[in-house]
Amino acid sequence: MEKVLDIQNLSKNYGGITAVKNLSLEVGPGHVFGILGPNGSGKTTTLAVITGVIAPDAGSFRWFGREHYAGMRKTIGSLIEVPNFYHYLDLVRNLSIVARIKNKPLNDIERVLRLMNLWDRRKSRFDTLSLGMKQRLAFSAVLLGDPSVLVLDEPANGLDPEGIAEMRDIILQEKKKQKTIILASHILDEVEKVCTHVTILKNGQSIAQGRVHELLAADDPVIVSCGESGRLQEEIVRAGLSESIEKNGKELIIILKKGMEAKDINEFAFSKGIVLDHLETRKKSLESQFLELVK
């Protein structure tokens, strides 16, 4: 599979502070790749490097197999940090400037403003917009020319719950077009809803990486209850089926060995003549997994 983005051993320092350290990751076509981490973990620095805003101190990155090249940023829709618009110009004139810089068609301005529910405010000065509207205008600029790759730093910044839901829907619409989307966000619930892949950064390093559903499936506890929970616990430990097992009354909380599933415990209990009253896999949220990893 062709790699849209290939990062190898990327590092960036600010004086004595390491912002990104030996970061490697691959993003394939059609991936929605989330970059997560607490404040200061290196998310924005990573996006700034791969969009050519700042230069790395070590390592490399390639877009579509090519190293950084002149005009690269014009082929990628990017939203990094604070949007930069002329305060005294209206929305259409601001986007006209962006379109000319990016060499994008001016007739695409209406499409992106309507998409972001800003068409009715097209003649408003930028300085009259709310923070959420300014963020939506910034996303309008990202979508000009319908780029195949989007790089977004906190795209829901400043938005109310309704705006966050709108932003999620727009990202999902772009995903349906098979676009590759790379986004940094602290709104973990939103990332879980839109992303196919994720990496979690801590102190500039990746501490977990993979498909979202695989990352969330790791260490999901299996909850079992039966009338012979003590004997079942002993049998499971003896058979080496669990990484860990705790007893809470009639309940057993089991972390299974890799490759095992809840149904395997049911079959094992049956083979030992033990009938289960209850069996469930308790799915973790991305938020709980994230908090465990960054501790």
Domain count, the chain: 3
Q: Are residues 66 and 159 in the same domain?
A: yes
Q: Are residues 60 and 29 in the same domain?
A: yes
- 127 in any annotated domain: yes
User: How much is the pLDDT for 31?
Assistant: 94
- 112 in any annotated domain: yes
- 289 in any annotated domain: no
Which residues contact residue 77 at a Cβ distance below 8 angstroms, ignoring those fewer than 6 apart? 142, 143, 144, 145, 147, 149, 150, 151
Q: Is the pTM of this model over 0.85?
A: no
Report which of residues 293 and 54 the model is more confident about. Answer: 54
Closest CA relative to residue 254, chosen from 273, 271, 235: 235
Q: Are residues 17 and 33 in the same domain?
A: yes
Q: Are residues 11 and 35 in the same domain?
A: yes
Residue 180 exposed, middle or buried by CB count within 10 Å (0-12, 13-18, 19+): buried
How far is C-alpha 47 from the chain's CA centre?
Answer: 12
User: How much is the pLDDT for 282?
Assistant: 73
Q: Are residues 24 and 124 in the same domain?
A: no
Say how far apart CA 65 and CA 62 lie, in whole Å. Answer: 5
Q: Kindly compute the dihedral angle of the four CA atoms of residues 51, 130, 110, 107, in this order, to the nearest 10 degrees.
A: -50
- 44 in any annotated domain: yes
Q: Are residues 130 and 156 in the same domain?
A: no
Q: Are residues 64 and 103 in the same domain?
A: no
User: How much is the pLDDT for 293?
Assistant: 58
Q: Are residues 59 and 165 in the same domain?
A: yes
Count CB-CB contacts under 10 A for residue 68: 16
pLDDT bucket at 6, cuts 50 / 70 / 90:
very high
Residue range(s) defining the domain that contains residue 120: 84-144
Question: What does the pLDDT average to over 29-43?
Answer: 89
Say how far apart CA 134 and CA 152 lie, in whole Å. Answer: 15
* Per-residue pLDDT tens over the stretch 137-153: 999 999 999 999 999 99
CATH number for the domain spanning 210: value is 3.40.50.300
- 101 in any annotated domain: yes
Could you tell me the sign of the dihedral formed by the alpha carbons of 15, 154, 182, 74, in that order? negative
- 290 in any annotated domain: no
**DSSP code for 221:** P
pLDDT bucket at 124, cuts 50 / 70 / 90:
very high
pLDDT bucket at 105, cuts 50 / 70 / 90:
very high
**Helix 91-102 / helix 131-143 crossing angle, nearest 10 deg:** 30
Q: Are residues 196 and 280 in the same domain?
A: no
- 63 in any annotated domain: yes
Strands of the 58-63 sheet, one edge to the other: 17-27, 5-14, 58-63
